[in-house]
Amino acid sequence: MRSPAMPRDPLLGAVEQNIAESLSIDSLAEAGFLSRSQLYREFYDLTGHSVKEYIRRRRLSKALALIRHTDMSLTRIAQDCGFGSSQALCKSVKAAIGQSPSQYKAGEDEYFFPMGEDRRALPVAVAAETIPPTLRLRYYDSRLRGIEERALARLFAALPGYRGRVFGRNGRQKGAKLCYELYIEHGAPVAGFAEIARRPAVSCTFAKTVCPNTEAEINAAWDYLYNGWLVTSMFAVDEGQPYFEEYLHVNGRVSRLALCLPVQKKPGFHKIRLCRCGAMQFLVAGRSGADAEKAASGAVMGFLAAHSPRLAQTARQFYVSRAPLAPSAREGEGLRLVRADAAHYTCGIALQAPLELPPGCGLRLRTHPAGEYAVLEGGCCGDTEVYESVLAAWVEGMGLRVNTEPFAVYETDGGYARQDIRVKIYQEIQK
């Protein structure tokens, strides 16, 4: 088994080089020339994990690889991976994956936690917080674009000089009217708003990041939180709690927003399997440019709606692959924004039976041959590149060679809420 390349960041490199030793907060802070508080922030920014959680999971990941792929004794593995004893190792493995080391060695699933990457885009802080009791103000408008700014303008016009905290989130549409909700620290009704109600305090753990108050920056920041930082972090969305945007304002002017995403801890190990798969066939369309993924999937579903509506209604597996084009990006406000035309997307649905395509329909059949595949299973993810990088790290660490670019298959049993959808990343392996 070949070891993957060392991470570029000196902090993460220090963890990998000293994984068998007693790694203290002070020694890592010294290695990175940081204070303890700076070290905590750096680790969340780099990995989405606390220092202790990251070290624990890297040790476990390395130990699991040695258990599965070597004949080393548990005592030796415990020594090499920083566990005090084989008993401590067995207890940690059981707690993490629900199996003993011998059960794991005899099974097929790989549990893998990748090394962190220097993927700074926006700093993310995670902390328990209480949002105080507020007054909820619902603002309705027929126009979606700029609805937040219009709601805020009405608020500051009604309450000139207001200095309290202001939170916002999307509300439920009412007929043809769209809704945006503001939450303020204020006791009396506010003129110009409908459906005013008092709301109790909200206490939970939030992942927070701050971004400029422009639509492009806000959308990119939410996308990064959900589809970048969150996917490989030690957290999942806490579905039982609401998200918020907090408007950081001075004299009624908002220049920045704090995005507040409620989170809770998750197991944090990716499930990977090396297995033989039969041939897979998909009906697909390819597109490049702005909104390429949406355009490609829309072409397939539009064709099915016209020619095979039953197939459109019963589809449960959806195909996505991404081929990078020439790099094109810009740097701004610490956030790397990749242009929408930087990739070619191929999207479609899985076919269970042969399908005849009419000439000139603009669609094609794509077949992935039977063979050995590394398969990563994960929750719904809007950016499969994150999962692809995890699978690539595992493949590299195993010393395997690949045939083609990876592809994703989203699966559902019928529901389309985020929690109802799973994704599998397939990577064909060379014999």
Q: Give φ, ψ of 61 to 5 degrees.
A: -60, -45
Superfamily of domain 10-112: Homeodomain-like (1.10.10.60)
The number of C-alpha atoms within 13 Å of 1 and in the hemisphere containing its C-beta is 17
What is the DSSP code (8-state) at residue 18? T
Residue ranges per domain, the chain? 10-112, 125-265, 271-428
Structure confidence at residue 267 (pLDDT):
67
Structure confidence at residue 154 (pLDDT):
94
Tell me the pLDDT tens digit for each residue of 104-113: 999 888 888 8
**Is pLDDT above 70 for 285?**
yes
Structure confidence at residue 328 (pLDDT):
44
Torsion angle (degrees, nearest 10) of CA 172, 175, 180, 185: -80
Mean pLDDT is lowest, of 48-62, 110-124, 137-151, 159-173, for: 110-124
Tell me the pLDDT tens digit for each residue of 9-41: 777 888 888 888 888 888 888 877 788 888 887
Residue pair 284/348 in contact by the 8 Å Cβ criterion? yes
Tell me the pLDDT tens digit for each residue of 173-228: 998 899 999 999 987 888 889 889 999 998 999 989 999 999 889 988 998 888 77
Residue pair 321/408 in contact by the 8 Å Cβ criterion? yes
Judge if 125-265 and 271-428 fold alike in CATH terms: yes
Cα separation of 70 and 57, whole Å? 19
Tell me the pLDDT tens digit for each residue of 361-376: 999 999 999 999 999 9
Whether the model clears a pTM of 0.75, i.e. scores above it, the answer is: no
Residue pair 104/93 in contact by the 8 Å Cβ criterion? yes
Structure confidence at residue 372 (pLDDT):
94
Residue pair 147/178 in contact by the 8 Å Cβ criterion? yes
Tokens of 365: 């059949």
Higher-confidence residue: 265 or 9? 265
Length of the chain: 431
The arithmetic mean of pLDDT across residues 33-51, rounded, is 79
Structure confidence at residue 37 (pLDDT):
82
% residues pLDDT > 90 (the chain): 41
Higher-confidence residue: 415 or 112? 112
**Is pLDDT above 70 for 7?**
no
The arithmetic mean of pLDDT across residues 167-176, rounded, is 91
Burial 146-175 (b: 16+ CB within 10 A, else e): ebbeebbebbbeebeebeebbbbbebeeee
Mean pLDDT of the residues in the chain: 85
Structure confidence at residue 141 (pLDDT):
93
The arithmetic mean of pLDDT across residues 261-272, rounded, is 83
Q: Residue 23: which region, alpha, beta or left (left: phi > 0; alpha: psi -120 to 50)? A: beta
**Is pLDDT above 90 for 252?**
no
The arithmetic mean of pLDDT across residues 369-398, rounded, is 86
**Is pLDDT above 80 for 342?**
no
**Is pLDDT above 50 for 417?**
yes
User: What residues have CB less than 8 Å from 97, skipping those under 6 apart?
Assistant: 64, 104, 111, 269
Residue with tokens 């709301």: 199
Domain 271-428: CATH class, spelled out? alpha beta
Strands 407-412 and 421-428: antiparallel
Axis crossing angle, helix 36-47 with helix 10-17, rounded to the nearest 10: 90
Q: Give φ, ψ of 393 to 5 degrees.
A: -65, -40
Cα separation of 274 and 66, whole Å? 16
Structure confidence at residue 166 (pLDDT):
95
The arithmetic mean of pLDDT across residues 266-286, rounded, is 89
Structure confidence at residue 325 (pLDDT):
66
Structure confidence at residue 28 (pLDDT):
83
Nearest Cα to 27, choosing from 42, 15, 37?
A: 15
Structure confidence at residue 337 (pLDDT):
38
**pLDDT-based confidence at residue 336 (cuts at 50, 70, 90):** very low
Structure confidence at residue 326 (pLDDT):
56
Structure confidence at residue 393 (pLDDT):
86
DSSP 256-267: EEEEEEEEEE--
Structure confidence at residue 119 (pLDDT):
52
Nearest Cα to 209, choosing from 128, 127, 332, 124?
A: 124
Mean pLDDT is lowest, of 105-119, 142-156, 361-375, 414-428, for: 105-119
Q: Which CATH number is 125-265's, of 3.40.1390.10, 3.20.80.10, 3.30.2130.10, 3.40.50.720? A: 3.20.80.10
Structure confidence at residue 229 (pLDDT):
80
Tell me the pLDDT tens digit for each residue of 113-139: 887 765 556 778 888 889 899 999 999
Tell me the pLDDT tens digit for each residue of 393-406: 889 888 889 988 89
Structure confidence at residue 98 (pLDDT):
87
